[in-house]
A and B are shown apart, each in its own frame.
Chain A
Amino acid sequence: MDPIERFKEVYEKRHEYAKDWKVKTGRKVVAYFCTYVPEEILYAAGVLPVRILGGHEPPHLAAPHMFDMWCPFSRDCLSQGLQGKYNYADGVMIAQSCLHPRQAFGAWQIHIPHEWDYFLCMPNAVRSPRAKPFLRGELAEFKKSVEEWLGKAITDKDLDQAIEVYNTNRYLMKQVYELRKLDNPPITGAEAMTMVVTSQLMDKREHNELLQQLVKELPNRKLDRETGIRLMIVGSEDDDHTFLEMVEKLNSTFVIEDHCTGSRYFWNEVISEKDRLQAIANRYCDRVPCPSKDWGPDDPSRLRFPHILNLAKEYKVQGAIVIQQKFCDPHEIDIPSLREFLEKNGIPTHFLEFEVTVPVGQFRIRVEAFLEQIRAEELFV
């Protein structure tokens, strides 16, 4: 089956996929918030980590648990859980990042049935030399908790295999991203997003097989569409298919992004080390940071900005759409500086605030106008 079609199918039927996986393997599923969760350890224990995402519908069930100030994505996630969409999940966990998903997780622990839950105290000061040893300790406790829950030990061999599978997945997705640098990328932004999001939902072994096939086939894949303006999209969690497809219908293509549902999720690999847990800890401290962790300890600048500019150059980006989930503080704090930084470096930006549903009329006009701004010359003699 065509890998991209398969990704779309899993993206649409994610819960069926997880349920089937359980039946097939007889093993357990852990639903998790936030990509700072060290999935390798769960995977080493034979567990399928499934990222909790929204359903892109107004999160009405969340109202008694989270008031309107919390980000719509987190409320949507909780609302999905309260609807019973994740009832197949045997466990639920979160890694410390921003406060919004923590609200959803806190309510989830209380109101949604599960066998096991865990709050992993991911350090905030990832840039401090003290973070890595601290996280290593956290991972040891976390591993212990998983072992006790499942009643079996996680060996170094298990960890090595998991790390291997995860690094392969990262490596292969980067291979696919290489092809997005081409003048006419053989894969659209919407398709690439589906690929990355499904890697957060699927068994990575299976995902890797699809990726291997994809890396082989892509170079010969012809899309009967114009690439148009090469766009980058940067900001909060974003699995908003409707939006990406809408934009890519307007004679433009997303060639790269910085999202935890995109490149930020897989950009860095685990560099092996005798102490496996330390190796994993290092990866999660060194990865491209979420804005909530992009500071200090003694340097106020943001490491993420040069990385984004670098991507923009490598992928020949003509404009950046900067988005945030409504109320997403970490991004709200960075966005004014980020836009200034990109524009100083010759990359026009346009800002959009996301809700769970896309007000197509309002967004379309803004995006069209932004694209016209980029290609304005053709309207002048």
Chain B
Amino acid sequence: MAKESLNSEETTAMLHLVADAIIAAEPLLSQADRDLGDGDHGIGMARGMNAAKEALAAGGFSTVDEPLVATGKAMMSSMGGASGVVFGTVFRGGKELKGSNLLDSPGLAKWLQSAADGVMKRGGAKPGDKTMIDALVPAAEKAAEVQSLSLPEAVTAVADAAEAGKEASKAMIATMGRAKTLGEKSVGFPDAGALSMTIIFSTMRDYICS
């Protein structure tokens, strides 16, 4: 039964599923990073998500920002690498929802806007640089656009936007991160971090819509 909004417990449950999905996708993510980078993206994300699960399991969250921020902090302090900061920043963007008892469509839009701004500010990459930003920014923009829709509708649109962004990243030339100078040889492969973004959003969608 689709959920119109999530309380902190449901948000926590959803993040557990997100973590499991990323951990399960480790070989896929590592392969994607092998094509363009140094092949460790899946390992790093799995390390971060295992730490996140521990933090989530510790529980004690009263508002929806808390499990989001706990996830981000756990990733930031366990992963290292580019994605530790980048994905840590994504989830820490949930601090915009401070005090909210429910995560709804406008909340989703707020969180993702903060996430996208934070990542771009921290890492200096822009859309088109073939990073996870190419999945995150379209997702954030879509979330803003659809914030009047129901949460299931909104998150479905967001997941689709991220997916389209990840697909679009295939045609881009990598310039950031480990893949810096692959240049034109990077064309045809999706960015590993963008792939992670799509797994995160599609898992959220599946939880919210089910």
Same complex: no
